[in-house]
Amino acid sequence: MKLLLKGARVVDPASGIDGIRDVLVDGDRISRVDTSIPAEAAVGAAIVELGSSLVVVPGLIDMHVHLREPGYEHKETVATGTASAVAGGFTAVACMPNTNPVNDNASVTRFILKQAAAANLARVYPIGAVSNGSNGEHLAEIADMREAGCVAFSDDGRPVATAALMRRALEYAGMFNMPIIDHCEDRSLAGEGVAHEGFHAAQLGLRGIPAAAEDVMVDRDIVLAHATGGHVHIAHVSTAGALRAVQAGKSRGARVTCEVTPHHLTLSDERLRAPLIYDTNLKMNPPLRGTTDRDALLAGIRDGSIDVIATDHAPHHADDKRVEFDRASFGIVGLETAVSLGFDRLVHAGIIGIGRLVELFSVNPARILKVPGGRIASGDMADITILAPDLPVTVAAAAFRSKARNTPFDGWSLRGGVAATIVGGRVVFANTAVPQAAGLERRERRET
């Protein structure tokens, strides 16, 4: 099977490409990228004229999602989660281990990969637990899980419980040159908090989670990464203090990287009061912080100190959110809104360009997890996302491919979206709202 994508803007920071190119896909590989590929050089290929209004980029990789299977299939399954991923432009996702049972051994890892193969949509890279049951006591079977297919280790959504355990995890995972991903939160400081500790939580009578709960744990992890030579990746950074610690750690040579979520870049704790008070779709952990923190994160996106945008896609059943704010589950879904939020609030707002957006969504996640992707070049796997930067998008939670609807962005009007998603040379999503994507959809129907 061959596919010739013609005349689109190709943005590939890893290869230094930003210009109009043709891309020839042959089977599951990219066979040629050139300024012009004539039809006679692509005999047998389906030719799709994309045009310069669309942007072809390396497949997007979300390195922080919750697929909920096994154990919580009423919230999400590997099949529905990966359907949501490809609709959001992601060709691959890395899934956290807080399933039931916890992914703390090779049998659970193999089960997740089996479900992913059956779904046959986005690639799935399991993340194994740091400790048995993620209970913070004894290291899990890291070598076995690596052998089974895990690409990193984390006790998310629990922090690695003690400094001693974190040290051993960094040393052990470091033997395999793999990162430890940590949800940084000092539980003794966070207590039973449900929102950012500040003016708005106080006025609403909500128990607060201080910024210091995150800051002290980030400092601990970076000190240990520096001491051991291991690689720590800080999940969903939300405070200015945590970002300063990351920047300082990098400057002194610690192996530290970090991610930020789209919701922490676009919202602050002011939203807890309006337009809907006590909206449980605004309850997440770490919580939405103050505007000073949000502005610091935007600066980190601009200056390069933040490595990745990851969604922390956390699907919940409606019953988990239709309760009092204190009792509601933490987290929101994000796979199907991330790209539009990125375009609207970062690119069109002039904070970053498309190339930087691709680094955050594709190049850097591939580098950190050491998985294929993050580049469009001859011989590479044909994992490609086609973006429509000016597409008008209205977020419609009811139409999500995910089982869950827990998003604070329902009804938002955004500029920019996904035209199509190609995984291993197969068109796994084509957006009917983009006329050029119709050619890809027709081609895929013929092939199947």
* Catalytic residue (choose from 12, 312, 320, 344): 312
Count CB-CB contacts under 10 A for residue 171: 15
Q: Is 312 a catalytic residue?
A: yes
Catalytic positions are 312
